[in-house]
Amino acid sequence: MNAFRLAGDMTHLISVLVLLLKIHTIKSCAGISLKTQELYALVFATRYLDIFTDFISLYNTVMKLIFLGSSFSIVWYMRRHKLVQRSYDKDHDTFRHQLLVLPCLILALLIHEQFTFKEVMWTFSIYLEAVAILPQLVLLQRTRNIDNLTGQYVFFLGAYRSLYILNWIYRYFTEPHYVHWITWISGLVQTLLYADFFYYYISSWKNNVKLTLPA
């Protein structure tokens, strides 16, 4: 495993921990999109179907369990926990996430590397992950009042995607036959979705002012 990949996984892990910290400790999910969190739970559930059938490494299995467990518990907190539920900004989180699921499923059925159930589900999860952040970005844009933890959560998620791109470039040059257009194009699309947010995040940090997004 190269350094970019490890750093990517770690920023992904940090983003989840930041979100759990906010929800579990402060008992608030203000500014967090339940739609995005539900999409992530679906992403991990469909991607890690191999968790009990293909052993890759202890690291791999443990990380999969963490991402599955954290994504489902975040959804549980936001839907069922009395205090957390109350801080959920339901009126602004209106992105119809079903509209993302169906096109991704159709695309996975059309474009994949192997036509097997596991591989099509895996491909679906790759496509869905690329667009799953959209409800969150729309919510940030609508509320415009972004607290530090929410900003950091989205920042670390974006950092994770950028580092994975560096990881693919590294692997392309160091491993024979490492060519995966599906992952690369989806990953690139996903990273580009963060570009706007990154621009405002970094300029607010540089100027030492509170993060706001333009309407």
CA 90 – CA 35 distance, rounded (Å): 10
Phi, psi at 66, each rounded to 5°: -65, -45
Amino acid at 145: N
Give the shortest CB-185-to-other proteins separation in angstroms.
13
Contact call for residue 92 and other proteins (CB under 8 A):
no
Give the shortest CB-118-to-other proteins separation in angstroms.
9
CB 112 within 8 A of CB 171: no
Contact call for residue 178 and other proteins (CB under 8 A):
yes
Of 5, 27, 81, 92, the one binding other proteins by CB under 8 A: 5
Contact call for residue 164 and other proteins (CB under 8 A):
yes
Q: Taking contact as CB under 8 A, which single stretch among the options 5-13, 28-36, 142-150, 199-207 is the one that binds other proteins?
A: 5-13
Q: Which two tokens stand for residue 23?
A: 């929800």
Size of the site for other proteins (CB under 8 A): 20
Contact call for residue 180 and other proteins (CB under 8 A):
yes
> Which CA distances in Å does 137 have to 47, 86, 94, 130, 155?
23, 21, 12, 13, 11
> Which CA distances in Å does 102 have to 27, 113, 121, 205?
33, 19, 13, 37
Of 2, 85, 145, 183, the one binding other proteins by CB under 8 A: 183
Contact call for residue 54 and other proteins (CB under 8 A):
yes
CB 153 within 8 A of CB 23: no
Nearest to other proteins of 98, 114 (CB atom): 114
**Residue ranges in contact with other proteins by CB under 8 A:** 5, 9, 12, 50, 54, 56-57, 60, 63-64, 67, 114, 122, 164, 167, 175, 177-178, 180, 183
